[in-house]
Amino acid sequence: MEESQLVEQAKAGDVHAFETLVKHYQDLAFRVAYLITAEPDEAEDAAQDALVKAYYALPRFRIGAPFRPWLLRIVANEAQNRRKAAGRRVGLALRVAETPGSQNTTMPIPEDTVLANEQRHELLAAVNRLREEDRLIIAYRYFLELTESEMAETLRCPRGTVKSRLSRALSRLREELLVAPTEVPGGSHGG
């Protein structure tokens, strides 16, 4: 069934249709929450609460608008509120999985983009060292593969602001790579 039909049915109170939508987006919703809260349990709670809020906010959702960024915006908002309420800074350290590609198999990996293991670790370590807002915008764009317009909706800012923030984040990532490029782990990093 088309997503727009599921949204219409969910708007009319069909919980099964809403569950189908949730199943489709729960990986992404959970990962957005995890990137913000840095705690799996907290991310699960944030995503659950956000989904309930999304269900009750459905009457305000405009049919025809993209559902994915609308949902992610509610999830991100809930995760940020929880993190602020907890009053702590995020110490998220993303790691490379044992088997590259095993975590996110939705995107085919062309041969010419395959990176050496050391490069993956080096790049991810540099991303981890970035400040939170830079890390988040890079993760949204390149790890979760949100489009710029989806990021604008999720981050509640104009698309032009997304572009400039992303550009600044990439510049700072380059600086990080220049400052500490040599720490390359010898072994694999499991999650």
Query: What is the pattern of x (binds other proteins, CB under 8 A) and - over residues 139-168?
Result: x-xxxxx----------x------------
Tell the smallest beta-carbon distance from residue 152 to other proteins (Å). 13
**Left, alpha or beta for 66 (phi > 0: left; psi -120 to 50: alpha)?**
beta
For position 88 contacting other proteins by CB under 8 A, the verdict is no
Binding positions for other proteins, 101-130, rule CB under 8 A: 101-105, 107, 109, 113-120, 122-124, 126-127
Contact residue for other proteins among 3, 8, 9, 44 (CB under 8 A): 44
Contact residue for other proteins among 43, 71, 130, 162 (CB under 8 A): 43
| Residues 6 or more apart in contact with residue 33 via CB below 8 angstroms | 42, 43, 44, 46, 47, 50, 75, 76, 78, 79
26 vs 66 by CB, closer to other proteins: 26
Tell the smallest beta-carbon distance from residue 189 to other proteins (Å). 8
Distance CA 91, CA 83 (A): 12
| Residues 6 or more apart in contact with residue 82 via CB below 8 angstroms | 37, 42, 45, 46
For position 70 contacting other proteins by CB under 8 A, the verdict is no
For position 57 contacting other proteins by CB under 8 A, the verdict is yes
Nearest Cα residue to 46 out of 83, 12, 21: 83
